[in-house]
Amino acid sequence: MRQTLFATALLGLSLLGRIGTTDAAQPTAKPVYLDKNRPVEERIEDALSRMTLEEKVAICHAQSKFSSAGVPRLGIPEIWMTDGPHGVRMEKMWDEWSDAKWTNDSCTAFPALTCLAATWNPAMADAYGQAIGEEARYRNKAVLLGPGVNIYRIPLNGRNFEYMGEDPYLASKMVVPYIHGVQRNGVATCVKHFALNNQEIDREYVNVIVDDRTLHEIYLPAFKAAVQEGGTWAIMGAYNRYKDQFCCHNQYLLNDILKQEWGFDGVVISDWGGTHDTHQAAYNGLDIEMGTWTDGLAWNWSNAYDKYFLAKPFLAELQNGKIDEKVLDEKVRRILRLSFRTTLNPDRPYGSFATEEHALTARRIAQEGIILLKNEDNLLPLDPKQPQKILIVGENAKQMMTCGGGSSELKVKHEVLPMEGIENYFGDHAQITYVEGYSSHPAINRHAIRQQAVDEAAQADVVIFVGGLNKKDNQDCEASDRRSYNLPYEQDQLIAELARANRRLVVVLVSGNAVAMPWVADVPAIVQAWYSGSEAGNALASILSGEVNPSGKLPFSFPVRLEDNAAIALDAYPGDRKNVEYKEGIFVGYRWHDSRQIEPLFCFGHGLSYTSFEYGSASLDRQEMKTGDSITLSIPIRNSGSRTGAEIVQLYIHDKKASLPRPVKELKGFRKVVLEPGEEQTVTFTIDAQALSYYDDDKQAWVAEPGTFEAWVGASSRDIRSQAAFELLSE
């Protein structure tokens, strides 16, 4: 009986269902905003028109540590962001800074950006962006929080290792292909930190005072290139203040320059904790507020997101009419455009993660970025087939460098350390031993471990010291600048004693910054190895063994003494806790050394090879030009050595006479050429009026002033091999 009743009921329901149904349901037309064949701007307007006020406000601020809300009702996804510039950071908890302890997020660590800059090879930057973009895409991130392009102003800045050196032209040329590589994957770059974040001391509030000319000639060019040539889809505001306004909501930087003058159509994202006021955030160019209620990386309110300046306080001001809804709609349009470029782009690729290919890319970039600073008596390369006793000394030979350093920290699938790399390359024939020699551990008997290293050094055929900094606090780390220009943990003393014990000493520096080298005269070979990622050890050993011929060149100067740095010499760092004034103006790095005839320890653009290169005479296709013209410079370069090598040919412009003080020379071109032994190539550069221009504060414009100029071509900023003069004629 019961079954009959049940069956009857089922039959009734199914009949009922049919009564209400027309024929097979007709699919409803796809809404415009989801129709990928419609122009993006139309899709934006359609989505905007469908959103409620609350939904519009909700997408303007964080919903978790690393995501901002989507529009669930309309099927518009959340926006997930991830650090950092060197790899895809491990997953964090929703509302805590601690790791989520996932087991599928161990990534590839690519070399730090100073190493990328040291390749002077835009193709490497594109390969870097492509690979890291694939990893971010695979991990379903819409925004990669990098690259950083803040200019290297002082050797003590804790985050220099994340940036691209002291010269705006080099940084501009290297950031653009990185952006293209990443965004090709449907992932946005978020170029940071805009602007003037050149120190970590007082970073959350210090007000930077700098003249307009310096701002435009030194600190803005890499960001401008990122926007106008790179087409970055996002920019991150810096913590600090400029013109007494926080950079995360700064009328002059964000509205006047970035969005109006440069035509930036992407999204401005605050640094984490960089937002301080609702009205300023509403009107002064901020689009997405992240990380508020923290001091950047630590203390926070749990689930503070409704308290954010662009959350309920913003909604309230909109509802009471104190803030115009047009201001909100402008933010929403930009955020929707970011979504259509990323999460709502159905044609974007699927990425890949922690692959052999990415490890190989990381290794290639490291191999091209590692710099041979000194090589007396051709001590390097060491023959890997030679049965020899090699002593490795130094904590950094066995120290992981992909972790630490602050927000650019990574959890890696693998990291080949220097010791392992050297064993890989030399272990078949050499007898390799290790002694720590120095340690970052505070409670260590430094004298004892130093003495042991020195005693063993005397018995070795060759000693490889691996030291430097280590991305711990005050040693190349976010939120803390270095306290000394010298190497820490008494490394200088150890190196000097090792040099006395064994003349065949190679010093390998793992760091992201310049350091003092009081022992430089006593050490025959010095290698700048950077923080070079998952393949660091293999890349280093491939250079030491000669499998790879080093070709990297310095993206920043190594002063002999800290006082030889402009900001330090002028007592213009770190400021008085409220303001820091860039008294040196445009004279940053080599520009300062040239203007004061200061000989650096190693100059901007310096780097040696295991072969040699001869430069012929520079020639010009014309001797004079007008502003709308350009001049072509040609110069033959020959590999005069016995092995294949790559040379970075650098073009500097010298203005013989100008109405304003100008640097002796400025980098305005470079080309990396690979030459077989005996091979000669002619390298050409096009020189246009932009290459001759300075920024005139009064005119608020770039000016190419008629007169005599010289093109200087060389192997570094102080190794000029040929010059050619020409005239810029008045119109």
Strand partners, 647: 673
CA-wise closest residue to 438 among 470, 402, 406, 477: 470
Task: Indicate the burial class of 71 (C-beta count within 10 angstroms; 0-12, 13-18, 19 or more).
Answer: buried
Applying CB under 6 A, among 91, 167, 200, 271 the residue interacting with ligand GLC is 271
| Per CB under 6 A, 530 contacts ligand GLC | no
CB of 297 vs ligand GLC, minimal distance in Å: 5
Alpha helix stretches (DSSP H) within 239-285: 278-283
| Per CB under 6 A, 145 contacts ligand GLC | yes
Nearer to ligand GLC, 97 or 252 (CB): 97
Nearer to ligand GLC, 186 or 274 (CB): 274
| Residue 327 dihedral angles phi and psi, to the nearest 5° | -65, -40
Nearer to ligand GLC, 204 or 329 (CB): 204
Nearer to ligand GLC, 149 or 608 (CB): 149
CA-wise closest residue to 452 among 391, 520, 507: 391
DSSP state of 303: T
Site for ligand GLC in 590-629 (CB under 6 A): none
Is the distance from CB of 605 to CB of 650 less than 8 angstroms? yes
CB of 116 vs ligand GLC, minimal distance in Å: 17
Quote the tokens at residue 495. 């190196």
CB of 410 vs ligand GLC, minimal distance in Å: 12
Nearer to ligand GLC, 225 or 477 (CB): 477
d(CA 724, CA 433) in angstroms, rounded, equals: 53
| Per CB under 6 A, 297 contacts ligand GLC | yes
Which residues 6+ apart lie within 8 Å of 6 measured at CB? none
d(CA 288, CA 51) in angstroms, rounded, equals: 17
Nearer to ligand GLC, 128 or 272 (CB): 272
| Per CB under 6 A, 83 contacts ligand GLC | yes
Cα–Cα distance list, 423 to 419, 448, 450, 460, 546 (Å)? 6, 26, 23, 16, 15
d(CA 645, CA 674) in angstroms, rounded, equals: 6
Applying CB under 6 A, among 407, 475, 542, 716 the residue interacting with ligand GLC is 407
Nearer to ligand GLC, 145 or 637 (CB): 145
Applying CB under 6 A, among 43, 139, 192, 665 the residue interacting with ligand GLC is 192
Helix then strand then coil, in percent of the chain rounded to 5, is 30, 20, 45
CB of 105 vs ligand GLC, minimal distance in Å: 15
CB of 88 vs ligand GLC, minimal distance in Å: 12
| Residue 214 dihedral angles phi and psi, to the nearest 5° | -65, -40
The secondary element (H helix, E strand) that includes residue 669 is: strand 666-675
Is the distance from CB of 574 to CB of 607 less than 8 angstroms? no
| Per CB under 6 A, 272 contacts ligand GLC | yes
Site size with ligand GLC, rule: CB under 6 A: 8
DSSP state of 287: -
Nearer to ligand GLC, 63 or 491 (CB): 63
Strand partners, 191: 235
Q: Measured over all CA atoms, what is the biggest interatomic distance in the chain, rounded to whole angstroms?
A: 108
Nearer to ligand GLC, 297 or 304 (CB): 297
CB of 295 vs ligand GLC, minimal distance in Å: 9
CB of 203 vs ligand GLC, minimal distance in Å: 8
As annotated, the active-site residues are 271
Task: Indicate the burial class of 667 (C-beta count within 10 angstroms; 0-12, 13-18, 19 or more).
Answer: buried
Nearer to ligand GLC, 406 or 524 (CB): 406
d(CA 648, CA 659) in angstroms, rounded, equals: 32
d(CA 384, CA 381) in angstroms, rounded, equals: 9
Quote the tokens at residue 269. 């994202």
| Per CB under 6 A, 556 contacts ligand GLC | no
Cβ of 504: how many Cβ atoms within 10 Å? 18
CB of 83 vs ligand GLC, minimal distance in Å: 5
d(CA 373, CA 113) in angstroms, rounded, equals: 19
Strands 371-375 and 707-716, by their bridges, are: unpaired
CB of 80 vs ligand GLC, minimal distance in Å: 13
| Per CB under 6 A, 182 contacts ligand GLC | no
Applying CB under 6 A, among 296, 574, 636, 707 the residue interacting with ligand GLC is 296
Q: Which amino acid, residue 259?
A: K
Residue 706 in 3-state DSSP?
coil
Site for ligand GLC in 21-60 (CB under 6 A): none
CB of 629 vs ligand GLC, minimal distance in Å: 42
Residues forming contacts to ligand GLC in the complex (CB under 6 A) are 83, 145, 192, 271-272, 296-297, 407
